[in-house]
Chains A and B, each alone.
Chain A
Amino acid sequence: MTVHNLYIFSRNGQLLFYTEWNRLNKSGMTQEEEAKLMYGMLFSIKSFVNKISPLDPKEGFLYYKTSKYTLYCFETVSGLKFVLNTDNGAQNVRELLQQIYSQVYVEFVVKNPLCQLNQPIQSELFRTKLDELIKKSPIYLNRSL
């Protein structure tokens, strides 16, 4: 099992943070382009899922899976989006995303008066704590790929 990369988007679709752990394939475009593409796709999937759902969509879009990886999306009530790519065997990724939000983002970005909200996250402490959380999670098992 492994964790590939993480995107954090603001409610307006701005990329607040990006980091990667085991990413073997580069997209071949700049990070901004990639983020726009990613956000656009998420936006479309979300509205697609909500329209096409035969029942009342409570949580809406949660994840999609390809043959190689799974993309999990966690949206907070305030509209922040946490997007994590893992391999297909990963379990309880939603919990992990929830932890990233409540234990790392809220603690070290929201509570940091020197961090501007809805601006790309600069804080080094945030990056360190995020890395710690991911690396101690059972989902992150650094296999030589």
Chain B
Amino acid sequence: MKHQFVDPKSSSGNKGEADECLFEYLHAEIVNYVLTTSVNTGEKEEDLSRLESMGFSVGYRIIERLTREWPRFKDELDTIKFICTDFWTSLYQKQIDNLRTNHHGTYMLQDNSFRLLASIGGNGSKQYLRESPRLLAFTCGLLRGSLANLGIPCTVDAEVAALPSCKFNVYVQRI
């Protein structure tokens, strides 16, 4: 990811492109590696749980770094708003475009041009629609891990209707 990590407020990286795409290439290789080493159970669905759990532990750690200068969050919505703005900007150089909630623990985060999908397809192209979920599993885990460390246990899934836009659904577990 970027040097923005150190200071999320100073936007626009001009350190050259290499550090920006390093994460993208590494992510792509991790996805390929996980897919080739995962045991094929003969099911149609690819096994993306390892990617998801990797994302979880990364997200869990990142939160310590990103929130160290933040006061406590007021409530759940406040936390989600932080995820949509500062968290997303630090990781993907843009904010979440649309946030919806039913006020009962379900949140829908929509990114109209998700960075990991932006080079895959666009303008309603259906070409790589089937392969795209594997590029989202890590980020789902990332969200779940971050929220877990912020005290919100939840499950996260993602859906893609038209590249390069995607939706992350966060279901908070009520105890």
Contact = CB atoms under 8 A, between A and B. Distances in A.
B is bound to A: yes
Interface in B77-128: 119-123, 125, 127-128
A124 B32 contact: no
Contacts, number: 35
Interface residues of B, number: 17
A119 to B, nearest CB: 15
Contact of B122 (A113, A114, A122, A128): A128
B127 A124 contact: yes
A76 interface: no
Contacts of B1: none
Nearest to B17: A106
A46 to B, nearest CB: 29
Contacts of B122: 125, 128
Interface residues on A, range: 10 to 19
Interface in B119-149: 119-123, 125, 127-128, 131, 135
Interface of A: 107-108, 111-114, 122-125, 128
Interface string B1-36: 000000000000000000001001101100110000
